[in-house]
Homo-oligomer: A and B are copies of this chain.
Amino acid sequence: MNSLTGDNSIEARKAGPLLARGVCRHLLQLDFTVIEEFVPERGLRVDVIALGPKGEFWVVECKSSRADFQADSKWQGYLPWCDRYFWAVDGSFPINLLPLETGLILADSYDAEIVRMGPEVKIAPARRKKLTQKFARDAARRLQSYRDPGVAAISYPQA
């Protein structure tokens, strides 16, 4: 069951990305810049990663339903890749399912609100340097593909 739409239709599967959009808008207002569907390392893909004005990283996983949350066996693997970790859910999500020691964001498609800050656990310096560089290169590569659709035909060394 999907808490936004009550089913597993295409609409339901869109719910996660729509929450991400509202989260990203709110993060921008906090001066955090964002990438969606970011891969910090092979086998891990976070819904939203945000880079703040002081170089800090937040990770936000967007969960549209209880089932969506319960199917996620990887989230603890994201913790070493951020200074703070958050869940983002909509108003109908059963938030008592979520671990108390993580951050909580209430979101819809248009905006979001931080209800509980995730505790800060700083990323190791060498990893932060590598992560900042990967964030930079991924964002620029995606930006170029929006600006110049012609690059889709260009092959380049993949990370």
Binding site for B on A (CB under 8 A): 21, 24-25, 28-31, 33-36, 51, 53, 55, 110, 129, 132-133, 135-137, 139-144, 146-148, 150-151, 154-157, 159
Q: Is the CB of A136 within 8 A of B51?
A: yes
Q: List 23 A-B contacts (CB under 8 A).
A: A21-B148, A21-B150, A24-B144, A25-B148, A25-B151, A25-B154, A28-B144, A28-B156, A29-B155, A30-B156, A31-B157, A33-B136, A33-B140, A34-B140, A34-B144, A51-B133, A53-B137, A110-B150, A132-B132, A132-B133, A133-B136, A143-B143, A143-B146
Q: Is the CB of A29 within 8 A of B156?
A: yes
Chain B residues with Cβ under 8 A from A150's Cβ? 21, 25, 110
Cα–Cα, bound, A132→B51 (Å): 12
Chain B residues with Cβ under 8 A from A148's Cβ? 21, 24-25
Counted per complex, copies of this chain come to 2
User: A83 to chain B: closest CB distance in Å?
Assistant: 14
